[in-house]
Structure 1
Amino acid sequence: MPRLNLYCLPYSGASAMVYSRWRRGLPDWLEVRPVELPGRGVRLGEPLQTDMHALARQLAGELAPRLEQPYALFGHSLGALLAFEIAHALRERGCPAPLALFASGTAAPTRREDYQDYAQPKSDEELVAELRELQGTPEEVLANEELMSLTLPILRADFLMCGRYQYRPRPRLELPLHVLGGKEDKSSMAQLLAWQEETATGFSLDMLAGGHFFIHEHESKVLRILKANLEVGWRRHLRHARGGDAGLSRVGA
């Protein structure tokens, strides 16, 4: 049975494991493929990266040999910006375009004014305060010195990558761009809507209850949005690949 690969990019300080639960909530035709970033998880021995464009080119090179099957990109926060840059890097390589790009929980590439204070390294105390404000890390974890000694260097590098990001004007992506936002998150509606400037094909915006980590607070709804948007493109792909409607009945729950 053919499958659509969903490559998922993690948020600041996180590893690919944050998406491991998603496999249980999505249909068989949609394969979750978490992308691990250097310096964490199975890539712990690799140096951390603070250059968004360099990392996007590196990851695009790693993904390129696997793109014979149709795919989509998803990223939350840092991961959304990184997924966007990977889509551009893949296009520059002449790779097949993703069926869709999902940008979750962050302002559009042209509206990064709220992230300028991330351009300088933050102290451990500032990083912990930021984690506490985002309300995605339990207090017992914040109080665990051993865990924090592993997490804070990763978070510091990821914040620098966000703060030092420089937008590069390029032709719009020829793919549907779906944005998800939290109603209590800091990104404004104008900052989220500005993502539509990056696509020449189609755009949608879904606002969910919750703060920055709405993807965990409302996981089932996020997965329903992903499935609903990808099913359209997946059906179209199967029609084109099989020269008709054969196999469409397989796309379902």
Structure 2
Amino acid sequence: MREPLTLLCLPCAGASATMYLRWRRTLPAWVQVVPVELPGRGGRIAEPFVEDFEAMVTRLCEEQRAALQGRYALFGHSMGALLAYGIARRQLARNAPLPLALMLSGSPAPTQRDTERFAHKDDDAALIADLRRQGGTPEEVFKSPDLIRLTLDVLGADYRVCESFSHAAPGNLPVPIHALAGRQDPISAERIEAWREEGTAGFTLDWFDGNHFFVRHDEPQVLATVARRLAQSVPEGSPDATRAIA
């Protein structure tokens, strides 16, 4: 029997924690899914946005302090992948417990990011074009003035988070890194495979049918892979490996 593992799941730009709620019913019982809500959306809609990457990572580490002390792994899609990476790097810098696995979905590696993409963070028309191109937004959102305004405000704030990210050197994380990617996502294979450079404890890359939101379009296969990769990173009967690695 496997020891319980907390899986902190970080949302993509413009989204809330609800994108992961269904995962609780599908992943194995030993995986305790914790959808992480960011300020300014969902249940935290009354809170001001955090629009700086390092400030967001610091805030998340403080808010999730208890979970980050135990047996845990990190999953993030798109912007969420960048936040998961930032959390892992901050834990390493503080000699704090590291994740047993780092799962990075739909995101180029830190050395391969396209910063120009976020330059139109204040242009509603360009943001709407982004939403349509990525294909993950229900049509009813575009038809509702209130919903599209809320979505654009969240997306613009999240683009500021992404724009403020800086990458000085490879992470050298002593943690297994598992990348997930969509075959029809315009992010090239080379840009995703560069995640290999960020870790020293093994790397995998799994491909799925679908565009940038393959996590939704091919969800059964994605969840099966998440469970398999977590099981590989935390074999049954393995000792607790959550202590910090110096």
TM-score by length of structure 2 reads 0.92
**Structure 2 counterparts to residues 177-216 of structure 1, below 5 A:** 177-216=177-216
Aligned length, in residue pairs: 239
Q: In the TM superposition, what whole-angstrom CA distance separates every residue of 1:112-170 from its partner, at most 9, and x where no partner exists?
A: 1x332313533222211111111111222211111112111110111122223211325
Contact 2:26 2:223 in 1 (8 A): yes
Aligned to 1:230: 230
- RMSD, aligned α-carbons: 1.5
Aligned to 2:243: none
Q: Partners of 2:222 and 2:138 in 1: how far apart?
A: 22
1:4 aligns with 2:8: no
CA distance 1:211–1:124, shift in 2 (3 Å): same
CA distance 1:215–1:58, shift in 2 (3 Å): same
Aligned to 2:158: 158
Bigger Rg, structure 1 or 2:
1
Contact 2:120 2:126 in 1 (8 A): no
Aligned to 1:124: 124
1:99 aligns with 2:100: yes
Q: In the TM superposition, what whole-angstrom CA distance separates every residue of 1:101-120 from its partner, at most 9, and x where no partner exists?
A: 011001100001x3323135
Contact 1:118 1:164 in 2 (8 A): no
Contact 1:120 1:163 in 2 (8 A): no
Q: Does 1 or 2 have the higher relative contact order (CA < 8 Å, sep 6+)? A: 2
Aligned to 1:110: 111
Q: Give the residue type in structure 2 aligned to 1:131.
A: L
CA distance 1:59–1:80, shift in 2 (3 Å): same
Aligned to 1:247: none
Q: Partners of 1:143 and 1:171 in 2: how far apart?
A: 42
The percent identity for this pair of structures is 44
Contact 1:64 1:95 in 2 (8 A): no
Aligned to 1:176: 176
Aligned to 1:30: 31
Q: Partners of 2:140 and 2:66 in 1: how far apart?
A: 41
1:64 Cα deviation from its structure 2 partner: 2.2
Q: Partners of 2:15 and 2:171 in 1: how far apart?
A: 31
1:147 aligns with 2:147: yes
Aligned to 2:48: 47
Aligned to 1:240: 239
2:64 alignment partner, SS class: helix
Aligned to 1:64: 65
Provide structure 1 residue ranges, at least 5 long, that are not aligned to the other structure. 242-253
2:225 alignment partner, SS class: helix
CA distance 1:160–1:119, shift in 2 (3 Å): farther
Q: Partners of 1:213 and 1:134 in 2: how far apart?
A: 7
Contact 2:176 2:233 in 1 (8 A): no
Q: Partners of 1:66 and 1:208 in 2: how far apart?
A: 29
Q: Give the residue type in structure 1 aligned to 2:196.
A: Q
Q: Give the residue type in structure 1 aligned to 2:151.
A: T
Q: Partners of 2:41 and 2:17 in 1: how far apart?
A: 9
1:171 Cα deviation from its structure 2 partner: 4.6
Contact 2:6 2:67 in 1 (8 A): no
Q: Partners of 1:184 and 1:116 in 2: how far apart?
A: 21
1:64 alignment partner, SS class: coil
1:239 alignment partner, SS class: coil
Aligned to 1:20: 21
